[in-house]
Amino acid sequence: MSKLRIDVDLDKIRYNTRFLVDHLRPRGITVTGVTKAVCGHPEIANAMLEGGATGLADARISNIMRMHDAGISCSISLIRTPMLSQVAQVLDNCDVSFNTEMDIIASLAIEALGKNITHNIILMVEMGDMRDGILPEHLESTVSQILRMEGISLKWIGANFACLGHVAPSAGAMELLSSLAADTELASGPALETVSGGGSASLPWALGKGATGKINNLRLGEAILLGTDPVSGYAIDGLYTDVFTLWAEVIETKTKSNPNPLQMIYPIPSMQCVTLDSPSNTRSILAIGLQDTDAAGLIFPAGVTFVGATSDHIVVENTDCLLRPGGEVKLKLNYSALSRGMAAPDVAKVFHGDGALVDCTAANTDRRYSKRK
């Protein structure tokens, strides 16, 4: 078997989920586990549920179908606005879908009527991230249109933060979202089941001392999977940051001299590299490349320095250790590297865990996270 693999510690996923669930419960906030970075792997989804997540969410129908096919029966939400071309699949596979476009909502309603079902939707509100969402000033009119439609039911409103703009939500933004939820309830009649206050970037607010208002749910992916804050990139106290380990095999090690470095007239952005001062170094090649992961999102062990990456190779320099062909290099991953690695067909996924929840503060010796400079 190829040595190119990602080891997954399911016990630490359970622990991270349980830690967050237990700390958010007193604040009146539930946790939805987000599985999009791990392509809906059922083992990971189940670990989130065993840790106390009340439901799951993913951005792709194929991932949701994968979880259903594995026997996962909890509520699973589609957290990306549905494609018109997939409306029927959304209704067949998703309990809830996140929506921002009236044309798509109308199509969901028509298709749901044809199937004699009612589909639940959540309206996403634009709160400054500038990615997806209904403008706050248009929320009342949008809700009014939805209430006149048969086949759909408005259950939630929510917002995204730090997805595109990488700015954590302020207390004022969360207060505004809570106020918009209250206004929506006045317009729609019954109380909203869920007001979702964003994802892992909202944890500093959610675990703070301010009032949470009507916000009663967070959608957590990165915090559970990596134990890190999406905005700063640093470890969240109390969580494991070593849930995933990428192992890459060494296929060449040589000392190479380059007194006349190649000058690229038209640098190609996808060919990631750094400039090193020494003219002669021991370089190794790892059998992994940009087709397998995001090289810029890898954290290398001490004594191994990233040089560059192409589609099928990562080049490193060794200062404190000799990497021999056939040996392995242990790598940590950020969210981008993890997402691409889990989706890569040539990267094996190996799951570990016996169901024990361990105390992170006592047992974890590798909790600090730092960005590669």
For residue 3, is it within any domain? no
For residue 70, is it within any domain? yes
Q: Rounded to 5 degrees, what are φ and ψ at 164?
A: -105, -40
Closest CA to 242 of 331, 316, 304: 331
Total number of domains constituting the chain? 2
Query: What is the domain-level CATH number for residue 131?
Result: 3.20.20.10
Regarding whether 115 and 66 lie in a shared domain, the answer is yes
Range(s) of the domain holding residue 259:
244-352
Regarding whether 160 and 30 lie in a shared domain, the answer is yes
For residue 365, is it within any domain? no
Query: What is the domain-level CATH number for residue 336?
Result: 2.40.30
Regarding whether 170 and 81 lie in a shared domain, the answer is yes
Select from 193, 226, 259 the last residue of a domain: 226
Strands 5-9 and 298-299: unpaired
Given this model, what pLDDT does residue 52 score?
98
Regarding whether 214 and 254 lie in a shared domain, the answer is no
For residue 371, is it within any domain? no
Regarding whether 249 and 219 lie in a shared domain, the answer is no
| pLDDT tens for the 373 residues of the chain, in order | 468 999 999 999 999 999 999 999 999 999 999 999 999 999 999 999 999 999 999 999 999 999 999 999 999 999 999 999 999 999 999 989 999 999 999 999 999 999 999 999 999 999 999 999 999 999 999 999 999 999 999 999 999 999 998 899 999 999 999 999 999 998 888 789 999 999 999 999 999 999 999 999 999 999 999 999 999 999 999 999 999 999 999 999 998 776 555 555 555 555 555 545 555 578 999 999 999 999 999 999 999 999 999 999 999 998 777 899 999 999 999 999 999 999 999 999 999 997 655 555 433 434 333 332 2
For residue 1, is it within any domain? no
Regarding whether 207 and 256 lie in a shared domain, the answer is no
Regarding whether 252 and 210 lie in a shared domain, the answer is no
What the block records as the tokens of 272 is 């990631």
Enter the pTM of the model. Answer: 0.91
- DSSP letters along 195-245, please? EE--SGGGHHHHTSSS--TT--EEEESHHHHH-B-TTT-PBPTTS-S-SEE
- Across the chain, the runs of DSSP E, i.e. the strands, are 5-9, 30-34, 55-58, 76-78, 96-99, 119-125, 152-159, 194-196, 217-220, 244-257, 280-286, 298-299, 304-309, 314-318, 328-333, 348-352
Regarding whether 57 and 197 lie in a shared domain, the answer is yes
